[in-house]
Amino acid sequence: MTTARQIDAEQLLYMYRTMVTIREFEETAGRLAEQAKIPGAVHLYAGEEAIAVGVCAHLDPADTITSTHRGHGHCIAKGGDVRRMFAELFGKSEGYCRGKGGSMHIADLDIGILGANGIVGGGPPIAVGAAFAAKYQGNGRVCVCFTGDGATNEGTWHEAINFAALHRLPAIFVIENNHYGEFTPQERQGAIARLADRAASYGIPGVSIDGQDVIAVYEAAREAIERARRGDGPTIIEGDTYRFYNHTGMSEGDPRPQEERAAWRQRDPIAILRGVLEQRAILSGESAERIHEEVRREVEGAIRFAEAAPYPDPSELLTDVYSD
C-alpha cells in the first residue's frame, strides 16, 4: 500500500489547491444561483472533491472523461478554465458552450472533457466509445466515466461495463456514492450495499474506497488507470462520499437528517488532506491561507470575466445544429 509519504509534495499541493478551487467555485455558483444570477439548476459537487481530483491527477489532457449533471468538479479537476465555466453558467458567449449548454452540459473536447450530462446514465455508453477509440487508435489514452450511485441503476451503466469488460477497453468506471439519488437514499434504490460488488458480474475488479481521502482515491485510481493502459480492461472504483449541499442549489429544502449532514461535514476531504499536509510539514497555516486567498481571487476574477462577457447574438440560435 502506497502512502502519502510516497506521493511527492508537489502533487499533494496540486490536489489540495484543486479541491479548494472546486469548493470555492461551487459555493460561489450556489450563491449566484440563489440570487437567480444563474438560471436553471446547479448541482454542486462540494464535499465530493477528493474523487474527481484523486482520479484526474493521473490523467493527461488527451485522456478523456465523461461526466454527470454534478460535473463542475470533474471539469476543474480535468483542467477546465473556471472563467469559461462561469461564463457558461451565465449563458455568455465566452462560455465553454457559447451559452448553449449551461451547467449540465459543460464540455471541453480539447482537454478530453466529453461533456457533463443531463441524463442520468448518459455518460457510460459514450465512455465505451471513447475507450474503444483509444484502443483502436493505439494511442494509450484512457477514459474515466464518472457517475453517481443512482446512475448504476440505469441499464446503460450495465451495458457499458459489460461491453468494456468484454473488449478489455481502457475505461475506468468511477461511482461517486454519495448515498442519495436526488432525495431517495441509496438503500431504497438497490438491494446491495457495496456497489463495487457489481464488478463481479462483469468479470472485472471492483474496489470500494474512502472517497473523502484523496490519497486513497489517488492510489485506487493509479492502479485502475495503469491496468487500463496496460490493456487489461476496466475497473470499477466506488468512492464513499457525501454532497454537502442539497441535490440542486444550496441547503434549502434538504431532507437529509441534520445529524447525518453534520457527521459528514466532519469528514471534509479538504480538511483531511490538510491534516496530512500539515503533519508532513508540506503546508502551514500561513501557506494554506495563501492558497485559499489565491483561489478566492481566481474565482472572483472568473466572475468578473463572466459578468463582462457578452451574451450570444440571437443569430446564433440556429448555428451548430449540424457540422458544415
Partner 1 sequence: MTTTTGATATAQREITYLQAVNEALHHEMERDSKVFVAGIDLAARGDVFGTTRGILSRFGSERILDTPISENAIVGLAVGSALQGLRPVVSVMFIDFIGVCFDVILNQMAKNKYMFGGKARLPLVVLANAGAGGGMAAQHSQSLEALLCHIPGLKVVMPSMAADAKGLLTSAIREDNPVFFVQHKRCARLRGHVPEGEYVVPLGKARVVREGRDATVVATAYMVHEALAAAERLAERGIEIEIVDPRTLQPLDIETILASVQKTHRVLTVHEAVQFGGIGAEITSQIVAEAFDHLDAPPARLGGPWSPVPYSVVLEREWIVNADKIHDAVVALVEGGEG
Is residue 139 within the footprint of partner 1 (CB under 8 A)? no
The DSSP secondary structure of 104-125, one letter per residue, reads GG--BGGGTB----SSTT-HHH
Residues 297-316 that bind partner 1 (CB under 8 A): 311-312, 314, 316
Site string for ligand TPP, 171-190 (x = CB under 6 A): -----x-x-xxx--------
Q: For residue 259, what is its C-alpha cell?
A: 445529524
With respect to partner 1, which residue has the nearer C-beta, 47 or 121? 121
Give the strand pairing for 180-181 and 171-177: unpaired
Beta strands in 167-234 (DSSP E): 171-177, 180-181, 184-185, 206-210
Kindly tell me which residue out of 58, 69, 92, 274 binds ligand TPP, with binding defined by CB under 6 A.
69
Q: Which helix (H) or strand (E) holds 236?
A: strand 235-240
With respect to Mg ion, which residue has the nearer C-beta, 179 or 274? 179
Q: 127 with 93: CB under 8 angstroms?
A: no
With respect to ligand TPP, which residue has the nearer C-beta, 210 or 298? 210
Residues 107-126 that bind partner 1 (CB under 8 A): 117-122
Q: Which helix (H) or strand (E) holds 33?
A: helix 9-34
Edge-to-edge strand list for the sheet holding 171-177? 64-66, 143-148, 171-177, 235-240, 206-210
Closest approach of ligand TPP to the CB of residue 242, in Å: 10
105 binds, options Mg ion, ligand TPP, partner 1, none, Cβ within 5 to 8 A by partner type: partner 1
Residue nearest to Mg ion (CB): 148
Residue 324: strand pairing partners? none
Closest approach of Mg ion to the CB of residue 181, in Å: 5
Closest approach of ligand TPP to the CB of residue 316, in Å: 26
Residues 101-160 that bind ligand TPP (CB under 6 A): 118-121, 147-151
* 1 Cβ neighbours under 8 A, 6+ residues apart: 219
Residue 168 C-beta-side C-alpha neighbours within 13 Å: 6
Binding interface with partner 1 (CB under 8 A): 39-41, 88, 91-92, 97, 99-102, 104-105, 117-122, 150-151, 153-156, 181-184, 188-190, 255, 311-312, 314, 316-318, 321
